[in-house]
Chain A
Amino acid sequence: MTTPLIILIVFIIILILMYNSLVAKKNQVDNIFASVDTQLKKRYDLIPNLVASVSKYMDHEKSLLEDITKLRSEANKSDLSEKEKIDLDAKVSKTLGSIMVAVENYPDLKANENVMHLQHSLNEVEEQIAAARRAYNQAVTDYNNALEMIPTNFMANAMGYKQKDLFVISETERENINVNDLFSKR
């Protein structure tokens, strides 16, 4: 009589533990995504300023500036899913990168204090975004692993949890961000 009862209790405890660990992993992902989001917003806030400062000088890159402005207004929509935000972030990073490369072609612009300050701010936000992305990817990896591994996969299935996307970490981001290059312009 007591043995089946003990087995049942142990079984229930295991189920509870599995359930809790899955919820914890999902919340960890959400939590970190919230931080990623804050950092991304910080970057989006810098964009209008940047566009305003460089548009006077940049004649040939008007389309780039239009792109970035468009991307920013898209990102400001409130009903974006995590996946859409991740995709937008990748596009913004790429376009911002192109703008920064273009700035190099304008000596006046490079020497402009406002632009320089913006570059530094962007650089720092970029580093924080990179850190947040990496934290997010680790949390998602842990979460996705739990979704695929036995025995938590059965439980996750029953709970209707779905795999989440990772941020793509670009090669340039893995490389050394050389602050010296930035400072040599001073």
Chain B
Amino acid sequence: MKTISELTTFYYNKLHPTIEKLEDERKTIQKRLISFGLLYGVVVVGTAFLFFKTPQAIFFIYIAILFIAGMSYLYNYLTKTYVQKFKQEVMAPLIHEIDENLNYQPTKHLPEAHFIRSKLFASRPDIISGNDLVSGKIDDVDIAFSDLHAQRESQDEDAEDDFETIFMGLFLVADFHKNFKGETIILPDSAQKIFGNVIGHWLQANTTSHYELIKMDNIAFEKEFVVYGSDQIEARYILSHTLMQKLLEYKQRSKYPLYISFVGGKIYMAIAYYNDMFEPSVFHSLLEYKIAIQYIQTLHLALSIVEELQLNQKLWSKI
């Protein structure tokens, strides 16, 4: 697989003419957005003065709501084609550069079934949205990932339609190279971090919603994650010392909470960025290194798991 530096070179060399064109467009949109924004601001404040003669708290609330709602509509309206072009002309070639067999669908996302099957999140989502679906085969291993935002209706006392986020970030599914029947779920370890080993373990063992607690024999891994599973031996068959080490390294590279599960012959991974990835902002240039490297790194992180976790090294019995 291509390295991050190779991809960065591709981004700045091959994609440069496209990005320059997009850059001009971005500047125009930015200017338009600012001038429309100022104009709209004057209108909102002006009408506010017409309705409320003396400034009260409600006066400022009125201004804030109208302004934010109007601006976000305006932003989406003005940037729509820019975002589309970015995805078609920058993201798609970048993904094909990593592997030409990969398929990129900017408006699609992974189906809800994957999210539920992964068993990573206890609550069932009421709404699933997302975009930037990448799917295909790397080294003969099926892999797919997308941005995903899972929400559920919250049971508020005032019975308003409020939505609570269950998960937001990158969700990934790939074939796993070992045979297994049971289910193994790896979650970020919060109990052990807060309460220390003894009480942490006790708390983990006594959460009823999950399977049996499985204590792993890698101290660093145990600190970072908590493992639940239906089978003590199978969980260790899947989580060999090598894989634990790799997952730890992966976690350190991703820098965000990492959820992993092994269900039905597949590995599911959820990286909780709490952000919609691969969306360009008109306030940042695509030529900025910081921005470019973020797209590249995120893509690379997701697609490198096949190589990193050696998912391509199929066992004899699975050939």
Contacting pair A127 B232 (CB below 8 A)? no
Interface pair B232/A32, CB less than 8 Å apart = yes
Number of A-B contacts (CB under 8 A): 50
CB of B315 within 8 A of CB of A131, answer no
Residue numbers in B under 8 Å from A142 (CB-CB): 215
- Cβ contact within 8 Å between A177 and B316: no
CA distance A142 to B217 in the complex (A): 13
Within 8 A of B (CB), among A122-177: 123-124, 127-128, 130-132, 134-135, 137-139, 142, 173-177
On whether A132 and B233 interact (CB within 8 A), knowing A121-B316, A179-B313, A180-B313, the answer reads: yes
The verdict on B236 contacting chain A, using a C-beta distance below 8 Å, is yes
The answer to the question of A120 belonging to the interface, with a C-beta cut-off of 8 Å to chain B, is yes
A117 pairs with B316, CB closer than 8 A:
yes
Chain B residues 303 to 319 lying within 8 A of chain A, measured CB to CB, are 310, 313, 315-317
Tell me whether B242 is interfacial, beta carbon within 8 Å: yes
Q: Which of A128, A131, A173 has the most chain B CB atoms inside 10 A of its CB?
A: A131
Shortest beta-carbon distance from B235 to chain A in Å: 8
Q: Are B313 and A183 in contact (CB under 8 A)?
A: yes
Q: Name the contact of A131 in the complex, choosing from B237, B242, B317 (C-beta under 8 A).
A: B237
In the complex, are the beta carbons of A35 and B233 less than 8 A apart? yes
A130 neighbours in B (Cβ, 8 Å): 236, 240
Q: Are B232 and A138 in contact (CB under 8 A)?
A: yes
**Interface on B for A, CB 8 Å cutoff?**
215, 217, 232-237, 240-242, 310, 313, 315-317
Between-chain CB contacts (< 8 Å), 6 pairs: A124-B317, A131-B237, A135-B233, A139-B232, A173-B241, A179-B315
